[in-house]
Chains A and B, each alone.
Chain A
């Protein structure tokens, strides 16, 4: 008789535990509609049920709060992207009223810089990760769009070799790196091949050690004029230096008749 009572109690306990487990699984799926039942015995299983219910309530509140914050961050990225697009449009419009090829080129350079930043915010807006971008994807998109916007001859080729696959870079690294790439490649496309029939621009990015990366961009164009070095009085080179400092990187610059190469080592 006593044994039958224990068997029945064990069976009831198992049923109650299964119901509590079901509630836990629902909470894990962010379904907070279910609650564990608390009986009148106020025994240990009732205590477990109460605890699960209370934790579920706290989790539900945190989830709502987190979702609201995510929505706000996404919205912020969307607005920044839109504002940068407005700046782009204004620059573009202004360029139509500017006389002289030199001045128009300066506007185009500014446009490219703004677009490289807008692209990051666009990617952040559509990605699940609100604070980091897939840098490979970003670089590929950026470089291809630079080639398109400079409307080059078909015999200028682009070679991209990005070894990193899924690495995400935070916005504080991605933006300066994007601007560096924009600066170097734009410069190559505008100046390196004016005396050449064909050419090649290469971009390589590899992870050399833990969080250390090597970014190499080169072209086989005609190189900078003699005696030009990184500290020379060229706005583009100075900008590159400043941006490399921003990401606490080190840059090497080689230029000659066979082309120009930039090698930048930086750490996340």
Chain B
């Protein structure tokens, strides 16, 4: 079931989340945030609240992320966890966020299509294929 409201803002401990008119959910990691298990669970809950059928692609801007904990990585990797999107684009523009993004993709090997981008335009172009 798609949410008919054009935009919706939601917050979790390390993320800011917003649904845009183009049906792509955008999330931002807060500056210097450490994405821990609590944040991982909250973002998943929030995404599923916005799109219960997980049909909207998600773009996550890693911004100035400080770290993602082992517990959070394991949570995202857990096969029993219900997917919250058909695809995820990660935006990384700093050395640290690029490294964290690549490391996460390499170690975790997400089950749903997930790619790392350096700019939003390319990311949105790719995500629109999943709408």
A interface with B by C-beta (< 8 Å): 38, 40, 42-44, 46-47, 50-51, 53-54, 57-58, 61
Query: Binary interface profile of B, 64-98, with partner A (CB < 8 Å = 1, else 0)?
Result: 10111110010000000000000000000011111
- State whether the Cβ of B100 lies closer than 8 Å to any Cβ in chain A: yes
Chain A: minimal CB distance from B123 (Å): 20
| A47/B67 contact (C-beta < 8 A), A40-B32, A54-B107, A58-B107 known | no
A61 and B70 form a contact (CB under 8 A): yes
| A51/B64 contact (C-beta < 8 A), A42-B96, A46-B96 known | no
Main secondary structure of the interface of A (DSSP, over half): helix
A47 and B96 form a contact (CB under 8 A): yes
Count of residues in B whose CB is under 8 Å from the partner chain: 17
- State whether the Cβ of B103 lies closer than 8 Å to any Cβ in chain A: yes
Chain B: minimal CB distance from A42 (Å): 4
B96 and A43 form a contact (CB under 8 A): yes
Q: Note all chain B residues with C-beta closer than 8 A to A46.
A: 95-96
CB under 8 Å from chain A, chain B span 41-73: 64, 66-70, 73
Q: Note all chain A residues with C-beta closer than 8 A to B94.
A: 42
B70 and A44 form a contact (CB under 8 A): no
Docked complex Cα distance between A156 and B98 (Å): 76
Chain A: minimal CB distance from B90 (Å): 15
- State whether the Cβ of B130 lies closer than 8 Å to any Cβ in chain A: no
